[in-house]
A = this chain, B = another copy of it.
Amino acid sequence: MKIKFIWPGETKESCLSKLESNYIKKISRFIKCEKIVFKSRFNEEKSKQIAFEEGEIEKRCGNLNNLILLTEKGKEMDSFEFAKFLEKKLNFQSDDIVFAVGGENGFSENFFKKGMFLLSLSKMTFTHEFARIILLEQVYRAFTIIKNIKYQR
């Protein structure tokens, strides 16, 4: 079992990209961890681009029941609740755990109805690149809570 992170396009902002690598390295100490970046169709019109990205995520996650999709319309949890949520998946799910963050245009309302879990990091709108880093930081934080070890900055 591993954790997969899926999103369209590499993180462009160099600082955020560096933080991303650092957190993936940190998470990898606890569980096998894979980042799946696919090329989006950045030149197409917005709705087509979103549809393409949704298709790519769906294709790559295997079973939509294992997918945790990030959207500010999702369920909010505090860091302890999120750790419990993750721990339960680690204990009772045999398939990979898959997180997906959208591109700068987000997702369509229809995509949300497909049965995946919707997770919100905040009521506030973050840039999609920020959302990636905060997700990774929270997954790392969750493992430090689950394993009861010190959070390393």
> Which of B13, B18, B122 contacts A122, CB < 8 Å?
B122
Residues of chain B with a CB closer than 8 A to A64's CB: none
Copies in the complex: 2
CB-based nearest B residue for A18: B15
- Whole-angstrom distance between the alpha carbons of A82 and B126 in the complex? 13
Residues of chain B with a CB closer than 8 A to A47's CB: none
- B15–A78 contact, CB under 8 A? no
- A127–B137 contact, CB under 8 A? yes
**CB proximity to B under 8 Å, residues A24-59:** none
Query: With A15-B18, A72-B78, A78-B72 in contact, do A134 and B138 touch (Cβ < 8 Å)?
Result: no
CB-based nearest B residue for A138: B124
- Whole-angstrom distance between the alpha carbons of A145 and B130 in the complex? 19
Task: Using CB atoms and an 8 Å cutoff, list the residues of chain A in contact with chain B.
Answer: 13, 15-16, 18-19, 72, 76-79, 81-82, 121-127, 130, 134, 137-138, 141, 153
Instruction: Enumerate 18 A-B pairs (CB-CB under 8 Å) in ascending A order.
Output: A13-B19, A15-B18, A15-B19, A16-B19, A72-B78, A76-B123, A77-B123, A77-B124, A78-B123, A78-B125, A81-B123, A121-B122, A121-B124, A124-B138, A126-B134, A127-B153, A130-B134, A130-B137
